[in-house]
Structure 1
Amino acid sequence: MSEDSRSSQMIKKEWVTKLGLAIALCLLVLISFVTFNSVDQFENSAKAVEHTHLVIQQINQVASDVKDAESAQRGYLITSNESFLQEHHDVVMKLPDEISKLRYLTRDNPDQKKSIDILEELIDLRMRSLRLGIDMLADRDKVSLDETMDLVGGTGRQAMLQLRGHADYMIAVEDKLLGERARLVQAKASSTKLWILLGNVVAIALLLSALWLIMLEIKHRKGAQRAIEKTAAQLELTNKELESFSYSVSHDLRSPLRAIDGYSRMFEEDFADRLDDEGRRLLSVIRASSKKMGQLIDDLLAFSRMGRKPVDTMKVDMNALVDEVWSEVCASSRTALPLKKANLPAAWGDRALLRQVLMNLLANAVKYSSKKDEQLIEITAKQNEHEVVFSVRDNGVGFDMRFYNKLFGVFQRLHTENEFPGTGVGLAIAQRVIVRHGGRIWAESKPDEYTIFNFSLPKEAAA
């Protein structure tokens, strides 16, 4: 299986895990909402049931008060005891408040409101009838025993039964409403239980699946870690081999090169009178090639060491560093060169390594603008929240951006050695240094007009 395929599968599994966890979380939130809503509905239903019981209790209370008024009137008619009359009067005074309370409790029920109107009419009729019996007591001698018993018994009982029947009807209405509310609560409870059960089952299944994927991912990561450790060990071995190779290059190859150059010089000095112009030219080519080979070896070793040298980070005064490097660049030039430099902010990095970067970029700017009548070299900087971007600009020959991918390669050159000398390692070293600092380096150019090299450095020390 290719690396891209494995990477694609790992990304897919990661997304599946995240999706499963997200769905499980959404289900748990939904279940919590349903549970909260159900509890709220149960609370409202309990209040509604309690309210229904209060209505029933109040209806019974009104009917009981009427019954108490009737019993007190009956006792007064039979015994003529004034205490029964006072008791009757107290009940009659209390009835309007009890009926008002009943109206308030049933204010949201239009049907019960009409029934209360009828109940109140029946109570009024019954109270007037009871009052009439009390008033007739003043003319007790004119009222026969049969009439008194009729007021106390037959007619009064019939009126009371009618009132009691209407009260029972009102209670039956409330009982029916209570039953409907109870069935609704039961249905909602069953539905809630089902939703909670299904939601929990699905959420648990998703969580278990996500856990399985996570365990699988951990297993794969452990395997990848072992592969990384193995690769690291191989890289360490390779680095040691490269160091050994560098040592060989530094010592074993330099000796024959020095010998070639030395014997060529001796041959030229001792046998110059025996050589024609072509022979002397060939000896000169041999010596120049050996020197160039030595320079290439030096640059290659410098590039190799640059990747192994530790980065000693500190706050670097870029103004002072640029002035120092520019003085050295100008010292190797035949003429004094102007440098247009803005006030540069400080940056964090290894001063020695950054010096090498500036040396390469400024030396290149001088070299590639040397054929201009008036050289223009400029270094500026701009900063944002996290980094400082430095720019080195020249008005030299430039390069074609179509070949940009070769710009930072080792021994890659966009101009021939006859045009401009060099080995093509300087920009590769600059890129390696900037990348090791956690920055970026890039360029933009237009042939025969300008070239700008930009590189970024951290504005603050890494945490």
Structure 2
Amino acid sequence: MSEDSESGHMIKKEWLTKLGLGLALFLLVLISFVTFNSIAQFESSSKLVEHTHLVVKQINQIASSVKDAESAQRGYLITSDESFLQEHHDVVVNLPDEINKLRYLTQDNPEQRRSIDILEELMYKRMRALRLGIDMLEDRGDISANETTGLVGGSGKEAMQQLRGHADYMIAVEDKLLGERARQVEAKAAYTKLWILFGNLVAIVLLLSALWLIMLEIKHRKIAQRSIEKTAAQLELTNKELESFSYSVSHDLRSPLRAIDGYSRMFEEDFADRLDDEGRRLLSVIRVSSKKMGQLIDDLLAFSRMGRKPVDATKVDMNTLVDEVWSEVCASSRTSLPLKKSNLPVAWGDRALLRQVLMNLLSNAVKYSSKKSDPRIEITAKHSEHEVVYSVRDNGVGFDMRFYNKLFGVFQRLHTENEFPGTGVGLAIAQRVIVRHGGRIWAESKPDEYTIFNFSIPKEVNA
């Protein structure tokens, strides 16, 4: 499997894991909402059931009160005892409040409110009949048994039966309403159970699937970790071998180069009078080429060592460091160019390695702007959220951005040796140093106008 395919497969598994966990979380939240809503409805239904029982109780209370008034009236007619009359009076006084309470309890039920009007009419009809008997006794002072039986029974009994029948009808309406509410609660409970069962089942399946993908990913990462550790061990061994090879090659190459340079110098000194101008020029080319080869070997070794040297991170005063490097650059190039420098923030890095970066960038700026009549070199810096970006700008020959990909390559040059001398390793070293610091380096340029090299240093380096 290719690296791109493996990366795509890992991204797909990660996406599926997140999707599964997200859906499971959504279902659990949805189930919680449905459960909460059902509990709220159950509470509401319970209150409605309780309310229905209160209505039924109040209807029975009114019918019972009328019955009590009737019993008190009968007792008064039979015994002429004033206590029965007081009892009857108390019931009559309380009946309007009981009717009003029933109206309040059924204010959301138009049918029952109409029934209350009928109930109230029957109630007052019966109470007027009862009052008629009491008034007869009070007016005449005596009432016969037959008259008492006539007042209590007959039409009075029929009125009481009508009252009781209408009260039973109202209770039946409430019982019907109670049954409908009970069926609704049962249906909602069944619906909620299905939701909870189905939702939990799907959530469990999704969680198990996500767990399986996570375990599979852990397994793959362990395998990848072992592979990385094996590769790292091989790379460490290879680096040691390369280091040994580099020193060996360096030593083996330097000896013949020194011999070439030495014999060429001896040949020139001993046989200069026998050589013409072309011969002396050729000897000079041999010596210059051997020195250049030695410089290439030194740069290659420096580049190799740069990748192995640990980063000793400390706070670096970039203003002082730039001044030191600039003095050295000016001394080696035998120039006294002015350097425009803003107040540079402190960097967190390896001072020796950062010095190498500044040396390469400032040396290049001087070299590539040397053919300008008014060379200008400037170094600035700016803060971002997590890093500090330093910029070295010159108005030299610049380069074509089409060849940017070659800029930081080893031994890659965008100008010929005749135009500007060099080995083409300096920028590669600078890039390696900045990458070791966890930063980045890039450039922008326009031929014959300007070149800007930017490099960033994190505000804290994990060496």
TM-score bin (small chain): over 0.9
- Which residue identity does 2:298 align to in structure 1? D
Q: Which position in structure 2 is the counterpart of 1:87?
A: 87
1:331 and 1:141 map into 2 onto residues whose CA distance is 145
Distance in 2 (CA, whole Å) between partners of 1:264 and 1:121 is 140
Would you say 1:372 and 2:399 are equivalent positions?
no
Aligned to 1:347: 347
For 1:398 and 1:22, how far apart are their aligned partners in 2?
A: 53
State the Cα distance separating 1:278 from its structure 2 match: 3.4
Secondary structure of the 1:456 match is: strand
Give the gaps of 5 or more residues in structure 2.
Answer: none
**Counterparts of 2:98 and 2:298 in 1: how far apart (Å)?**
112
Using the alignment, how far apart are the partners of 2:80 and 2:299 within structure 1?
Answer: 135
Q: 8 Å contact 2:410–2:424 — kept in the other structure?
A: yes
Match of 2:452 in 1: 452
Query: Cα 1:219–1:460, aligned 2, differ >3 Å: closer, same or farther?
Result: closer
Mapping of residues 51-450 of structure 1, within 5 Å: 51-140=51-140, 143-450=143-450
- Aligned counterparts of 2:212 and 2:336: Cα–Cα separation in 1: 71
Deviation at residue 461 of structure 1 after TM alignment: 5.5
Structure 1 residues without counterparts, runs of 5 or longer? none
User: How much has 1:458 moved relative to structure 2?
Assistant: 2.5
Q: Which moved more, 1:109-118 or 1:386-395?
A: 386-395
Q: For 1:50 and 1:384, locate their aligned partners in 2 and report how far apart those are by CA, in whole Å.
A: 67
In structure 1, how many angstroms separate the alpha carbons of the residues matched to 2:201 and 2:296? 70
Q: Which amino acid aligns with 1:106?
A: T
What TM-score, normalized to structure 2? 0.97
Deviation string, structure 1 residues 414-452 (Cα, Å, up to 9, x no partner): 001011100000011111111111111111111111111
Amino acid at match of 2:253: L
Read off the aligned partner of 2:116 and give its amino acid letter: I
Aligned residues: 463
Give the superposition deviation at 1:340.
Answer: 1.4
Give the drift of 1:462.
5.3
For 1:7, the equivalent position in structure 2 comes to: 7
Q: Which deviates further from its counterpart, 136-145 or 229-238?
A: 136-145
CA RMSD in angstroms comes to 1.5
Shift of 1:460: 4.5
Judging changes above 3 Å, is the alpha-carbon distance between structure 1 residues 88 and 265 closer, same or farther for their aligned structure 2 residues?
Answer: same
**Which AA in structure 2 matches 1:114?**
R
Q: Which whole-Å CA distance do the structure 1 matches of 2:311 and 2:319 have between them?
A: 21
Give the counterpart letter for 1:279 in structure 2: G
Per the alignment, residue 42 of structure 1 pairs with 42
- Give the Cα–Cα distance (whole angstroms) in 2 for the partners of residues 302 and 319 of structure 1: 25
Letter paired with 1:91: V
Q: Which runs of 4+ in 1 moved over 4 A?
A: 139-144, 460-463
Contact 2:321 2:355 in 1 (8 A): yes
**Residue type at the aligned position of 1:45:** S
Q: Name the SS of the counterpart of 1:392 in structure 2.
A: strand
Question: What letter corresponds to residue 425 of structure 1 in structure 2?
Answer: V
**Aligned 8 A contact 1:306 1:433 in 2:** yes
Partner residue, 2:31:
31
How far the C-alpha of 1:268 sits from its partner, in A, is: 2.3
Letter in 1 for 2:352: A
Letter in 2 for 1:89: H
Is this contact kept in 2: 1:399–1:445, CA < 8 A?
yes
Residue 308 of structure 1: SS of its match in structure 2? coil
Inter-partner Cα distance in structure 2 for 1:413 and 1:211: 53
Q: Which range moved further: 389-398 or 418-427?
A: 389-398
Which residue identity is paired with 2:212? W
Aligned residue identity for 2:107: R
Distance in 2 (CA, whole Å) between partners of 1:460 and 1:240 is: 30
Deviation by residue 1:335-390 (Cα, 9 ceiling, x = unmatched): 32111112222211111111111111111111111111221111112222322211
Per the TM alignment, residue 247 of structure 1 is displaced from its structure 2 partner at its CA by: 1.5
Contact 1:346 1:459 (C-alpha < 8 Å) held by counterparts: no
Q: What is the CA distance between 1:274 and its match in structure 2? A: 3.5
The range that moved more, 388-397 or 106-115, is 388-397
* Corresponding letter in the other structure for 1:173: V
Deviation at 1:459, TM superposition (A): 3.3
| Alpha-carbon distance, 1:140 to partner | 4.9
User: Is the 2:437–2:461 Cα contact (8 Å) retained in structure 1?
Assistant: no
1:391 counterpart SS class: strand
Q: Distance in 1 between matches of 2:246 and 2:237?
A: 14
Tell me how far apart the structure 1 counterparts of residues 265 and 188 of structure 2 sit (CA, whole Å): 106
Q: Label 1:141 to 1:87 Cα distance change in 2 as closer, same or farther (>3 A).
A: closer
Deviations 1:36-67 (A, max 9, x none): 00000000000000000000000000100000
Shift of 1:246: 1.9
What CA distance in whole angstroms lies between the structure 1 residues aligned with 2:201 and 2:396? 73
Identity between Structure 1 and Structure 2 (%):
86
